[in-house]
Amino acid sequence: DSVEALAAQTAISYGLVGNGATHRFFKSTNISTYKKMAEYMEENANNVLKSSNSIGRDAVEESEGKYAFFMESAVIDYITERHCNLTQVGGLLDSKGYGIATKKDSKYRTPLSEAIVKLQETGVLRELKKTWWTQKAGGGACLSKGTPALLEMGMKNVGGVFLILIGGSVFSTFLAFYELFVETLRETSNMVRNHMFKEFVI
């Protein structure tokens, strides 16, 4: 049930999206286990590297438990809410965050940052993830069938197909990001308008 166990065996192959962020992580790491896995994936690139997460997911489903696919944790959470024959195994390999880029010295930088912090502190981001991951667009399908989204199992006891968990964050998703962006623009607009009003009054 760990990356080390996966790297030490040969019965289950593993891969990821070629030339993606996760691929670059494996290629640049100094951790011996990950370097070994990176070498394996390069040597077997034609069989284990995929062009997208959806193709990787399909490969896992068709492999009868003989292929594992690395992807970001937020994406795995989304997939395992809808594909009840898949589960995640292991802990985070890496952790990274995503943000909204602005032009250097942009007047929107501070209002955007403040709006995002407010959304985090008030629990809006958490509620957005809950809405889009577990309630809408097919989310919660596995829970309604009585299938847990996360199964605790050893490498020898994997009865079906599975996914390997890799780090990520809510910002790496697109559905929630859309609502976040809309809410952020609304907050920014209000802040800018209030700021202009104060300057006018003064």
pLDDT single digits (tens) 4-60: 889 999 999 999 999 998 999 999 999 999 999 999 999 999 999 999 999 999 999
Backbone angles phi, psi at 101, to 5 degrees: -85, 140
What integer pLDDT is reported at residue 158 of this predicted model? 43
When pLDDT is cut at 50, 70 and 90, the band that residue 67 belongs to is very high
CB atoms within 10 A of CB 133: 23
Contact 37, 13 (CB under 8 A): no
CATH of 3-201, one of 3.30.390.10, 3.40.190.10, 3.40.50.720, 3.40.50.1370: 3.40.190.10
**Mean pLDDT, residues 116-129:** 90
Q: Which among 170, 31, 148, 33 has a CA at the least distance from the CA of 81? A: 148
pLDDT exceeds 90 at position 132:
no
pLDDT exceeds 90 at position 72:
no
pLDDT tens for 73-99 read: 888 888 988 888 898 887 777 777 777
What integer pLDDT is reported at residue 63 of this predicted model? 93
Residues with Cβ < 8 Å from 23, sequence gap 6 or more? 16, 17, 41, 49
What integer pLDDT is reported at residue 73 of this predicted model? 84
Question: Collapsing DSSP states into helix, strand and coil, what is residue 17?
Answer: strand
For the chain, the structural domain boundaries read 3-201
Q: Which ranges in the chain belong to alpha helices (H)?
A: 3-8, 21-28, 32-43, 45-48, 53-62, 73-80, 109-121, 124-129, 141-144, 175-201
When pLDDT is cut at 50, 70 and 90, the band that residue 149 belongs to is very low
Average pLDDT in the chain:
77
Backbone angles phi, psi at 69, to 5 degrees: -130, 125
pTM for the full predicted model = 0.65
Backbone angles phi, psi at 68, to 5 degrees: -120, 150
Residue 168 CB-half CA count within 13 A = 19
**How far, in Å, CA of 54 to CA of 111, rounded?**
36
Report the range of poorest mean pLDDT among 62-66, 104-108, 192-196.
192-196
